[in-house]
């Protein structure tokens, strides 16, 4: 039960930070976040490059081979999401960070799930709307400006940018084989 309380505390902290930063302009947000990271001794986040509208890869951000992110299919193949919820975060990340300017958007909808899951050759979920709801409940997306719209939040960004594919959790060849049960012979 302690783990659940920890998760709740983290979600409350994230919500408080977002609420505090929302009314500020981009420059003020960057100053506040930079100060907080320095004050807490956390690694620096790469500054935004205004000309591109996305982050400059930082020291801790995984570098991807050049030319591999031309489309959602390449990104999904590189990130290897294991669930529709993770794939929804990948779609939101792609559309907010990597998509061509004509496709770029900050909020995603059911239509985007259907379109980009197909383009990535990822299995379509039975209920695309519920996939977005599950991604929100998992903490990867926030509610958007209108009903049915969702936007990538920092947790979802970090999942896609820094944690997928997560190979550290199950190193190759580390699965333990179960030993065969010894049969008990009855003594007479």
Q: What is the pLDDT of residues 1-29, one digit of tens each?
A: 455 566 778 888 888 888 898 898 887 88
Report how far apart the first and last C-alpha atoms of the chain are (Å, whole number): 49
Residue pair 61/161 in contact (Cβ under 8 Å)? The answer is: yes
Phi, psi at residue 102, to the nearest 5°? -70, -20
Mention every residue, 6+ apart, whose C-beta is less than 8 A from residue 175. none
Segment 43-55 mean pLDDT = 43
Angle between helix 84-93 and 110-119 (nearest 10): 100
pLDDT: is 2 or 59 the higher one? 2
Closest to 14 measured CA to CA, from 33, 28, 30, 31 = 33
Q: What is the mean pLDDT of the chain?
A: 77
How far apart are alpha carbons 139 and 12 in whole angstroms? 11
- Asked whether residue 82 carries a pLDDT value surpassing 50, the answer given is yes
For the chain, the structural domain boundaries read 63-163
Kind plus residue range of the DSSP H or E element containing 49: strand 48-49
Looking at residue 183, its pLDDT comes to 52
CA distance linking residue 59 with residue 46, whole number of Å: 8
Comparison of pLDDT for 40 and 99, the residue scoring more:
99
Q: List the single range of 32-41, 98-107, 139-148 with lowest mean pLDDT.
A: 32-41
Average pLDDT of the residues in 81-88:
96
DSSP class of 149:
-
Q: Is the pLDDT of residue 159 over 60?
A: yes
Q: Is the pLDDT of residue 106 over 60?
A: yes
pLDDT in tens, 118-128: 999 999 999 98
Higher pLDDT, 111 or 166: 111
What would the mean pLDDT of 53-66 be, rounded to a whole number?
Answer: 42
How big is the chain, counted in residues? 188
Q: How buried is 114 (Cβ within 10 angstroms: 0-12 exposed, 13-18 middle, 19+ buried)? A: middle
CA proximity to 85, closest of 151, 133, 157: 133
CATH topology of domain 63-163: Arc Repressor Mutant, subunit A (1.10.10)
pTM of the model: 0.56
Identify the pLDDT of residue 56.
42
ω before 165 within 30° of 0 (cis)?
Answer: yes
In angstroms, the CA 163 to CA 60 distance is 11
Find the mean pLDDT for residues 153-177. 71
What band does 92 get if pLDDT is binned at 50, 70 and 90? very high
pLDDT (mean) for 40-68: 46
């Amino acid at each position: 039960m302690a783990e659940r309380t920890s998760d709740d505390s983290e979600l409350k902290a994230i919500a408080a930070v977002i609420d505090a930063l929302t009314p500020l302009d981009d420059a003020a947000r960057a100053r506040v976040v930079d100060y907080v990271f320095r004050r807490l001794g956390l690694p620096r986040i790469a500054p935004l490059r205004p000309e591109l509208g996305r982050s400059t890869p930082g020291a801790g951000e995984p570098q991807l081979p050049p030319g591999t992110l031309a489309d959602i299919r390449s990104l999904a193949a590189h990130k290897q999401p294991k669930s529709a919820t993770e794939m929804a975060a990948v779609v939101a990340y792609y559309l907010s960070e990597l998509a061509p300017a004509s496709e770029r958007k900050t909020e995603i909808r059911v239509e985007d799930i259907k379109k980009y899951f197909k383009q990535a050759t990822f299995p379509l979920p039975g209920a695309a709307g519920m996939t977005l709801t599950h991604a929100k409940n998992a903490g990867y997306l926030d509610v958007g400006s209108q009903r049915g719209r969702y936007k990538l939040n920092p947790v979802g960004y970090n999942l896609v940018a820094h944690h997928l594919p997560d190979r550290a959790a199950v190193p190759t060849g580390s699965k333990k084989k179960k030993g065969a049960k010894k049969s008990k012979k009855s003594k007479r």
